Amino acid sequence: MNTLLLVRAHTKIQFLDLIRWPGYVVPTVVFPAMLYSIFDLPAARMHPNDADLLALAFIAWAVIGVTLYQFGVGIAQERGRPWERYVRTLPASVFERFGARIATAVLFGVITAALVALVARAFTPIDLTLMQWLRVLLYAIAGGVPFVLIGITIGYWASARASVPLATAVNLLLAYAGGLWMPPQYLPSFVATISPYLPTRQFGDLLWSVVGEGNALRAVMGLALYTLVFGLIAAVGYRRDERKRYA
Amino acid sequence: MILAFEDVVKSYGGIRALDGLSFAVGRDEIVALLGPNGAGKTTALEIALGLRGCDSGSVHLFGASPSSIAVRRRLGVTPQESGFPDMLTVGEIVEFVAQHYPTPAQVAQTLSAFGLEAMKKRRAGTLSGGESRRLALALAFIGNPEFVVLDEPTTGLDVQSRRRLWDVVREASGNRSILFTTHYLEEAQALASRILVVDRGRLLFDGDAQTLRGRVGGRRVTYVGQDGPVVAVPVDTDAYVRALVNSGAGFSNLEISKPSLEEAFLLLTKGPE
């Protein structure tokens, strides 16, 4: 069978299974736009010059939330399930199965980020050109890679029960300390000291570079390092789980 | 040959799940794999499906490794536990599985064959146990595979539902080979052309139900003695009855018959403690 058709088939059922589940859609897809509306929309209206930065920070957080829950909680909860074992007996490779998981995450990431962007476009003076929006899309997907790997690390190292609080803690703490909820200059001094080294801050910097803010080079280097580190930890976790369940 | 196990050994830590297991499944055969809990049936199936490897020996499915994608295109599986994604409909799950095979059966036809057409749009999370098992069975056949593996296909169902599913499996079997595990001896007798009995990871018997009953040797002796009904399957029936008569003890309703399949199975798997 054609690989693309199989990836599409797996993506379709993963997407439908999640989009029909309010327990996933509300906290993961709707929350970023909702919290942006409640907390940052008034600020963006009061300080029009910051409107771009505030919206881009919430777009980054939207992508991070999807990757951590989709991969962290998703893998941890599914890896022991009978359906997962059954799917492994079907004629589809691990690349097709995992490719579908990535495609599903990209779809949800784009939808979640687009909701934030729509609210920002409708209610704030955010002013990005089409080219800048395309760069935002590209950077959001590329910048999401280390968070996918952090998610996979949680998915393979944490139990199903521990994965939800762990992913939530990582998501909220890193978002706050990375300056995604408020401009980094308003962070308490000790948090501001470590903030530039966090992947969330680097992701924010990458997106802010679209409007001429943030240090893009440092962000790319930092995100590449996190990709490498969590890529290795995730790979070890994957192999450990494979040996345990399928050796 | 469809499936061949040769001297397969598999251990989990210090526990030997398969201890030199050898058997084969040929074309158009329906084979039942029987054994008590912990006999090694599930491990054998997992290895046959490519979900696990073995420590030594060899396993070939269609002459190749069971984990090969090409081999899996010729294989259909009914898992022991269904656990379908709650939010997907019956139709979506069947269509999804069909998309993996080069020449799948018609989805509508398969849904109808397994009595699922009325619930095509129902979400899997709302299915009853029997409906879930029918869906699990439909998935094994939707790909139109040459070889079907059914892991305890009717476990948890009432007698009527079980018998209805046997009819469905018989009709769907067509010209294909089937290997299934079961706890129900009557299911093995009703569906299988060959029975394999495994215990402690070894093959104890390979043949049909008739031979399995005959293999035990003795006959089943029942009578009502002074302390109530007695059932025995002695090795030497003649000597047993002679001793009973000579003992002078009172008895009535003496019957001598062939042992049931269940008794034969229990005697076979009792083994040395």
Neighbouring residues of B39: CB distance < 8 A, sequence distance ≥ 6? B198, B199, B200, B201, B269
Mean pLDDT on A229-243: 93
Which residue has better confidence, B259 or A165?
A165
Render pLDDT for B47-75 as a digit per residue (tens, 0 to 9).
Answer: 999 999 999 999 999 999 999 999 999 99
pLDDT(A9) > 80: yes
pLDDT(B161) > 70: yes
Render pLDDT for A83-140 as a digit per residue (tens, 0 to 9).
Answer: 999 999 999 998 999 899 899 999 999 999 999 999 999 999 998 999 999 999 999 9
* Per-residue confidence (pLDDT) for residue B273, from 0 to 100: 41
Q: How far is CA B131 from CA A2, B89, B141, B143, in A?
A: 32, 12, 16, 19
Instruction: Write out the DSSP string of B189-209.
Output: HHH-SEEEEEETTEEEEEE-H
To which CATH superfamily is domain B3-213 assigned?
P-loop containing nucleotide triphosphate hydrolases (3.40.50.300)
Sign of CA dihedral A87, A234, A8, B84: positive
Which two tokens mark B262? 């269940």
Mean pLDDT on A172-179: 95
The residue in chain A having the minimum alpha-carbon distance to the alpha carbon of residue B67 is A89
Which residues of B have a CB under 8 Å from any CB of A? 49-53, 69-70, 72-73, 75, 77, 79-88, 92-93, 96-97, 99-102, 139
β-pairing, B75-78 with B228-232?
unpaired
Instruction: Please report the number of interchain residue pairs, chain A to chain B, with beta-carbon separation below 8 angstroms.
Output: 70
CA distance A154 to A164: 9
Chain A residues in contact with B142 (beta carbon < 8 A):
none
Cβ contact, residue pair A89, B101, below 8 Å: no
Boundaries of every domain in chain B: 3-213, 216-270
Boundaries of every domain in chain A: 3-246
Of A13, A89, A93, which is closest to B51 when you measure between CB atoms?
A: A89
Assign B272 a pLDDT band (cuts: 50, 70, 90).
Answer: very low
The residue in chain A having the minimum alpha-carbon distance to the alpha carbon of residue B79 is A86
Residue A242 contacts B where some CB pair is shorter than 8 Å:
no
Render pLDDT for B178-190 as a digit per residue (tens, 0 to 9).
Answer: 999 988 888 898 8
Of B52, B81, B86, which is closest to A247 when you measure between CB atoms?
A: B52
Please say whether the beta carbons of A155 and A76 come within 8 A: yes
Least confident of A122-136, A198-212, B35-49, B228-242: B228-242
Mean pLDDT on A205-217: 93
* Per-residue confidence (pLDDT) for residue A1, from 0 to 100: 63
* Per-residue confidence (pLDDT) for residue B235, from 0 to 100: 74
Assign B213 a pLDDT band (cuts: 50, 70, 90).
Answer: confident
pLDDT(A197) > 90: yes
Least confident of A40-44, A146-150, B118-122, B269-273: B269-273
Chain B residues in contact with A20 (beta carbon < 8 A):
87
Chain B residues in contact with A5 (beta carbon < 8 A):
99
pLDDT(A201) > 90: yes
- CA of B77 vs chain A CAs: smallest distance (Å): 7
The residue in chain A having the minimum alpha-carbon distance to the alpha carbon of residue B71 is A91
AA identity, residue B100:
H
| ipTM of the modeled complex | 0.86
Assign B164 a pLDDT band (cuts: 50, 70, 90).
Answer: confident
Mean pLDDT on B11-18: 91
Cβ contact, residue pair B75, A88, below 8 Å: no
Mean pLDDT of the residues in chain B: 90
* Per-residue confidence (pLDDT) for residue B224, from 0 to 100: 92
* Per-residue confidence (pLDDT) for residue B267, from 0 to 100: 74
Mean pLDDT on B37-47: 91
As a whole-number percent, the residues of chain A with pLDDT over 70 amount to 100
Assign B232 a pLDDT band (cuts: 50, 70, 90).
Answer: confident
Residue A243 contacts B where some CB pair is shorter than 8 Å:
no
pLDDT(A76) > 90: yes
As a whole-number percent, the residues of chain B with pLDDT over 70 amount to 97
Assign B217 a pLDDT band (cuts: 50, 70, 90).
Answer: low
Mean pLDDT on B95-114: 95
Please say whether the beta carbons of A220 and A234 come within 8 A: no
β-pairing, B75-78 with B147-151?
parallel
The residue in chain A having the minimum alpha-carbon distance to the alpha carbon of residue B149 is A89
pLDDT(B84) > 50: yes
* Per-residue confidence (pLDDT) for residue B195, from 0 to 100: 94
Q: What is the pTM of this model?
A: 0.86
B34 forms bridges with which residues in the sheet? Answer: B197
Instruction: Give which of B182, B190, B124, B187 is closest to B150, Cα–Cα.
Output: B182
- CA of A79 vs chain B CAs: smallest distance (Å): 12
* Per-residue confidence (pLDDT) for residue B269, from 0 to 100: 77
Please say whether the beta carbons of A137 and A55 come within 8 A: no
